[in-house]
DNA sequence: ATTAAACTGTGTATAAATTACACAGTATAA
DNA sequence: TTATACTGTGTAATTTATACACAGTTTAAT
């Protein structure tokens, strides 16, 4: 399994990549991935893999799809199922472990070329994420507990890669009833914007 | 891999089921499925499996998702990736082969309980099909080359399990430009309706 | 041949959803 | 204190979706 871990930092959608320390694709960046374990589901296994490579643990994984091209691994036959997850980078400090020499958050718009067929997996994961955007307020995993509507809009714009009308966005989000005001204002930012939180 | 093969007959959405001749789940109905082959992709393998069980060959397979529950097979650990395909039953006569004792088209609304977790797979496949309905005119695989708008609407209604307004449906389909009139009329049906075909 | 039944083909009015757009107010930084 | 950068708000216009009725054509029955 492989997983596309998305984060949101400095107003940009980011993707967690690992640098591989062994052949094939030594020193190339790619999605964290590894092999399945007996007695565990794919979701459990991918979480274990993620922990073993980056120290991140217990995140909700959403399935993207399975890949089975015969030559997708240059040495042996490897199928993979790709997942994506959304996390707050500040809650999940990362460290390189095992056969990984480096771990970095890359701005999704400035990804390096990835090893294996991971360029494809990353793209498919983003499309899946976009498709899921309106269904469930998954962004809860990407933002702090309390956030301004501007922060939420920046997140949407990063994921969708398009600009949104501020008034219409605000209207749509508030009408959905899925976020509610906390009656607190964010300090340190001009305008003193209201803080909101996800309604549970 | 397993596959949900959809057909459209007698104005009903149907699903192709096989009756298993061996344990576990002997004599139970289920989706055709089998194991992966070396040197082939999942899509190729599932087509081979399908041929070996039913005689159907070479159909386009759309991936639904992977299933990995530890206890989904009562005897040993088996993962599966489920696909769906759309075919015209009249083009693909079926015969029971290998460990299959019977093959039948079941009305989707009157399915028997299925072996393994295939009730779940069938449902997920239907949902995936619904989601894909508007994107691409996949129904091309379910209808004859030339079809009336009523036949198309019946198909949509079967898949979506809801009734649609005839005039609005006609407007939407024709405006999409994806089907075009053939200037032929269907005979043997009252009203003498125009025949349409998919624009390629 | 006539008639009844079942279907086709067509347009408009209403409602709902989406889009476009401007200015006054507030907190911060200089 | 002032300039800057941001917040908060409503309405009109457009587009899209929905509701709905009747005359015409072909078949089947008599």
Answer left, alpha or beta for residue A85, where phi above 0 means left and psi between -120 and 50 means alpha: beta
Q: Give me the residues paired with residue A52 across strands.
A: none
User: How far is it, in rounded angstroms, from Cα B173 to Cα B155?
Assistant: 13
Quick check: B21 and B100 in contact, CB under 8 A? Answer: yes
Name the token pair of B179.
Answer: 């089907």
Residue with smallest Cα–C1' gap to D5: A190
Exposed e or buried b per residue across A48-57, where buried means at least 16 C-beta atoms within 10 angstroms of its C-beta: bbbebbbebe
- DSSP conformation letters of A35-67: ---TTS-HHHHHHHHHHHHHS------EEEEEE
> Coil, strand, or helix at residue B182?
strand
**What is the distance between the alpha carbons of residues B179 and B151, in angstroms, rounded to a whole number?**
13
Q: pLDDT tens, A38-69?
A: 999 999 999 999 999 999 999 999 999 999 99
B59-72: b (≥16 Cβ within 10 Å) or e = bebbbbbbbbbeeb
In angstroms, the CA B197 to CA A63 distance is: 36
Q: How many CB pairs under 8 A join A and B?
A: 37
Which pair of structure tokens corresponds to residue B48? 């081979």
Question: Strand C nucleotides below 7 A of a protein CB?
Answer: 5-12, 18-22, 25-29
Tell me the average pLDDT across B134-138: 68
B136-153 burial, b at 16+ Cβ within 10 Å, e below that, comes to: ebbbbbbbeeebbbbbbb
d(CA B46, CA B61): 8
Residue A78, phi then psi, degrees to nearest 5: -135, 120
Residue A133 — pLDDT band, cuts 50, 70, 90? confident
Cα separation, B41 vs B39, in Å, equals 7
The rounded distance, in Å, linking the Cα atoms of A160 and A158 is: 6
Q: Is the CB of A193 under 7 A from strand D?
A: yes
Look at residue B11 in the predicted model and tell me its pLDDT: 84
Tell me, yes or no, if B43 comes closer than 8 A to chain A by beta carbon: yes
Surface of B (73-92) touching A: CB under 8 A: 77, 79, 81
Cα separation of B175 and A52, whole Å?
53
Average pLDDT over residues B56-70: 95
Predicted confidence (pLDDT) at residue B146 exceeds the cutoff of 90:
yes
Instruction: Return chain A residues 137..176 having CB < 7 Å to nucleic acid strand C.
Output: 165-168, 171-172
CB A16 within 8 A of CB A54: yes
Q: Which nucleotide is nearest to B195 (CA to C1')?
A: C8
Mean pLDDT, range A110-130, rounded to an integer = 96
Taking residues B10-16, report their average pLDDT. Answer: 91
Does residue A43 sit at the B interface (CB-CB below 8 Å)?
Answer: yes
Strand C-proximal residues of B, range 84-103, CB below 7 A, are none
Residue matched to tokens 């890669």: A161
pTM beyond 0.85, yes or no:
yes
- Rounded mean pLDDT, A152-173: 94
Cα B83 from Cα B1, distance rounded (Å):
8
Average pLDDT, chain A: 93
Q: Which residues of B touch A43 (CB under 8 A)?
A: 68
Q: Report cis status (omega within 30 of 0) of the bond before B24.
A: yes
A61 touches strand D (CB under 7 A): no
pLDDT in tens, B72-88: 999 999 999 999 999 98
Residue holding tokens 């499996």? B49
Residues 103-162 of A with CB under 7 A from strand D: 148-150
Per-residue pLDDT averaged across A87-107, rounded?
93
DSSP state of A183: E
In the structure, how far is the CA atom of residue A148 from the C1' atom of nucleotide C27, in angstroms?
15
A2-11, A16-25, A87-96, A130-139: least confidently modelled range: A130-139
Identify the DSSP state of B30.
E
* Cα–Cα distance, B177 to B155 (Å, whole number): 18
Is residue A31 within 8 Å of residue A3, measured between CB atoms? yes
Q: Which nucleotides of D are covered by protein (CB under 7 A)?
A: 4-11, 17-21, 24-28
Instruction: Give mean pLDDT, residues B187-198.
Output: 92
Q: Which residues of B touch A42 (CB under 8 A)?
A: 66, 68, 79
Say what the pLDDT of residue B14 is: 94
Task: Find residue A47's DSSP bridge partners.
Answer: none
Q: Does A40 touch chain B (CB under 8 A)?
A: yes
């Amino acid at each position: 399994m492989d997983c596309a871990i998305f984060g949101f930092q400095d107003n940009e959608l980011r993707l967690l990549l690992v640098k591989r320390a062994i052949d094939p694709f030594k020193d190339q960046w790619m999605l964290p991935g590894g092999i399945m374990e007996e007695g565990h589901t794919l979701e459990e296994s991918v979480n274990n893999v993620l922990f073993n490579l980056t120290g991140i643990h217990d995140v909700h994984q959403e399935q993207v799809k399975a890949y089975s091209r015969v030559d997708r691994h240059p040495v042996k036959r490897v199928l993979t199922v790709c997942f994506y997850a959304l996390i707050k980078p500040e809650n999940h400090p990362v460290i390189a472990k095992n056969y990984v020499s480096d771990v970095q958050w890359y701005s999704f718009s400035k990804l390096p070329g990835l090893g294996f067929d991971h360029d494809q997996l990353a793209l498919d994961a983003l499309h899946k994420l976009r498709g899921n955007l309106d269904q469930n307020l998954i962004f809860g995993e990407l933002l702090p507990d309390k956030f301004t509507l501007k922060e939420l809009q920046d997140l949407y714009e990063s994921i969708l890669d398009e600009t949104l009308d501020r008034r219409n966005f605000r209207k749509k989000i508030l009408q959905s009833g899925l976020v509610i005001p906390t009656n607190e204002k964010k300090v340190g930012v001009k305008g003193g914007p209201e803080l909101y939180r996800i309604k549970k």
